[in-house]
Amino acid sequence: MTTIQMQPNIQLDRNQWVRLGVATAVLSVIAVLIIQVVAITIWPDIALFKPLDSYARTAVFTAVPAVAATALFAWLARRRTDPVPSFLKISAVVLVLSIIPDYLLPVEYKTFLASTVTAFLHVVAAAVIVSVLVLGYRRQRGA
Protein backbone atom coordinates (compact mmCIF):
# COMPACT_ATOMS: atom_id res chain seq x y z
CA MET A 1 0.00 0.00 0.00
CA THR A 2 1.34 3.43 -0.91
CA THR A 3 0.54 6.66 0.74
CA ILE A 4 0.46 9.95 -1.03
CA GLN A 5 1.45 12.97 0.95
CA MET A 6 -0.64 15.95 0.00
CA GLN A 7 0.89 19.32 0.68
CA PRO A 8 -1.70 21.56 2.29
CA ASN A 9 -2.67 24.66 0.37
CA ILE A 10 -0.73 27.16 2.48
CA GLN A 11 -1.63 30.73 1.62
CA LEU A 12 0.71 33.67 2.09
CA ASP A 13 -0.67 36.45 4.24
CA ARG A 14 -0.84 40.11 3.24
CA ASN A 15 2.44 40.99 5.01
CA GLN A 16 4.29 38.21 3.20
CA TRP A 17 2.96 39.44 -0.16
CA VAL A 18 3.93 43.03 0.67
CA ARG A 19 7.46 42.00 1.65
CA LEU A 20 7.76 39.85 -1.47
CA GLY A 21 6.46 42.69 -3.65
CA VAL A 22 8.87 45.23 -2.15
CA ALA A 23 11.81 42.86 -2.60
CA THR A 24 10.72 42.21 -6.18
CA ALA A 25 10.42 45.93 -6.98
CA VAL A 26 13.75 46.83 -5.39
CA LEU A 27 15.71 44.00 -7.00
CA SER A 28 14.21 44.56 -10.44
CA VAL A 29 14.85 48.32 -10.31
CA ILE A 30 18.47 47.75 -9.28
CA ALA A 31 19.04 45.20 -12.05
CA VAL A 32 17.45 47.37 -14.74
CA LEU A 33 19.30 50.52 -13.66
CA ILE A 34 22.64 48.70 -13.69
CA ILE A 35 22.02 47.49 -17.24
CA GLN A 36 20.83 50.94 -18.32
CA VAL A 37 23.96 52.63 -16.89
CA VAL A 38 26.21 50.10 -18.62
CA ALA A 39 24.36 50.46 -21.94
CA ILE A 40 24.47 54.26 -21.86
CA THR A 41 28.16 54.14 -20.95
CA ILE A 42 28.84 51.93 -23.97
CA TRP A 43 26.47 53.77 -26.36
CA PRO A 44 25.97 57.34 -25.05
CA ASP A 45 23.74 58.37 -27.96
CA ILE A 46 20.95 56.03 -26.85
CA ALA A 47 20.31 58.36 -23.91
CA LEU A 48 18.66 60.73 -26.40
CA PHE A 49 15.85 58.18 -26.84
CA LYS A 50 13.04 59.27 -24.51
CA PRO A 51 12.57 55.90 -22.73
CA LEU A 52 16.28 55.86 -21.83
CA ASP A 53 16.86 59.52 -20.91
CA SER A 54 15.78 59.34 -17.24
CA TYR A 55 16.85 56.90 -14.57
CA ALA A 56 13.95 58.01 -12.37
CA ARG A 57 11.43 57.19 -15.11
CA THR A 58 13.10 53.83 -15.64
CA ALA A 59 12.84 53.09 -11.92
CA VAL A 60 9.13 53.96 -11.85
CA PHE A 61 8.38 52.02 -15.04
CA THR A 62 10.10 49.01 -13.48
CA ALA A 63 8.68 49.24 -9.96
CA VAL A 64 5.05 49.67 -11.08
CA PRO A 65 4.99 46.43 -13.14
CA ALA A 66 6.72 44.63 -10.25
CA VAL A 67 3.93 45.69 -7.90
CA ALA A 68 1.29 44.80 -10.50
CA ALA A 69 2.90 41.38 -11.04
CA THR A 70 2.90 40.79 -7.28
CA ALA A 71 -0.79 41.67 -7.07
CA LEU A 72 -1.58 39.39 -10.03
CA PHE A 73 0.39 36.51 -8.52
CA ALA A 74 -1.32 36.97 -5.13
CA TRP A 75 -4.70 36.98 -6.87
CA LEU A 76 -3.84 33.80 -8.79
CA ALA A 77 -2.53 32.13 -5.63
CA ARG A 78 -5.89 32.66 -3.91
CA ARG A 79 -7.74 31.05 -6.82
CA ARG A 80 -5.47 28.20 -7.90
CA THR A 81 -3.65 25.46 -6.07
CA ASP A 82 -0.66 25.96 -8.40
CA PRO A 83 -0.64 29.56 -9.67
CA VAL A 84 2.87 29.40 -11.16
CA PRO A 85 2.01 28.04 -14.65
CA SER A 86 -0.72 30.64 -15.16
CA PHE A 87 1.54 33.41 -13.87
CA LEU A 88 4.34 32.35 -16.23
CA LYS A 89 2.02 32.34 -19.24
CA ILE A 90 0.55 35.74 -18.42
CA SER A 91 4.04 37.14 -17.77
CA ALA A 92 5.30 35.93 -21.14
CA VAL A 93 2.40 37.54 -22.98
CA VAL A 94 2.80 40.82 -21.09
CA LEU A 95 6.54 40.84 -21.82
CA VAL A 96 6.02 40.40 -25.56
CA LEU A 97 3.33 43.09 -25.59
CA SER A 98 5.55 45.49 -23.62
CA ILE A 99 8.36 45.24 -26.16
CA ILE A 100 6.29 46.05 -29.25
CA PRO A 101 5.92 49.82 -28.57
CA ASP A 102 9.70 50.22 -28.25
CA TYR A 103 10.02 49.45 -31.94
CA LEU A 104 6.74 50.85 -33.31
CA LEU A 105 6.01 54.13 -31.58
CA PRO A 106 7.32 57.20 -33.39
CA VAL A 107 9.64 58.65 -30.75
CA GLU A 108 12.40 61.13 -31.48
CA TYR A 109 15.94 59.64 -31.56
CA LYS A 110 14.57 56.12 -31.84
CA THR A 111 17.14 53.83 -33.40
CA PHE A 112 17.20 50.08 -33.68
CA LEU A 113 19.93 49.99 -31.03
CA ALA A 114 18.03 52.23 -28.60
CA SER A 115 14.84 50.21 -29.10
CA THR A 116 16.74 46.97 -28.60
CA VAL A 117 18.38 48.21 -25.39
CA THR A 118 14.95 49.27 -24.12
CA ALA A 119 13.49 45.89 -25.07
CA PHE A 120 16.38 44.17 -23.28
CA LEU A 121 15.58 46.20 -20.15
CA HIS A 122 12.04 44.79 -20.36
CA VAL A 123 13.49 41.28 -20.50
CA VAL A 124 15.79 41.94 -17.53
CA ALA A 125 12.91 43.38 -15.50
CA ALA A 126 10.66 40.44 -16.38
CA ALA A 127 13.35 37.87 -15.56
CA VAL A 128 14.01 39.41 -12.15
CA ILE A 129 10.34 40.01 -11.34
CA VAL A 130 9.20 36.53 -12.31
CA SER A 131 12.17 34.81 -10.66
CA VAL A 132 11.91 36.67 -7.37
CA LEU A 133 8.15 36.21 -7.17
CA VAL A 134 8.09 32.51 -8.06
CA LEU A 135 11.09 31.57 -5.93
CA GLY A 136 9.93 33.74 -3.03
CA TYR A 137 6.42 32.32 -3.22
CA ARG A 138 7.67 28.73 -3.27
CA ARG A 139 10.14 29.37 -0.44
CA GLN A 140 7.52 31.03 1.77
CA ARG A 141 4.94 28.34 1.07
CA GLY A 142 7.42 25.65 1.98
CA ALA A 143 8.47 27.39 5.18
Percent of the chain at pLDDT > 90 equals 86
1, part of any domain? no
Q: Is residue 6 part of a domain?
A: no
The answer to whether the pTM exceeds 0.85 is yes
Residue 8 covered by a domain: no
Q: Is residue 39 a part of any domain in this protein? A: yes
Domain that holds residue 62: 14-142
Distinct helix (H) and strand (E) counts, the chain: 4, 0
pLDDT at 64 over 70: yes
Task: Report in angstroms the alpha-carbon separations of 99 from 5, 14, 41, 76, 81.
Answer: 43, 31, 22, 24, 31
- Going by pLDDT thresholds of 50, 70 and 90, the confidence category of residue 6 is very low
Domain-located, residue 79: yes
Q: Is 43 exposed, middle or buried (0-12, 13-18, 19+ CB in 10 A)?
A: middle
Residue 2 counted as domain residue = no
Q: What is the count of structural domains for the chain?
A: 1
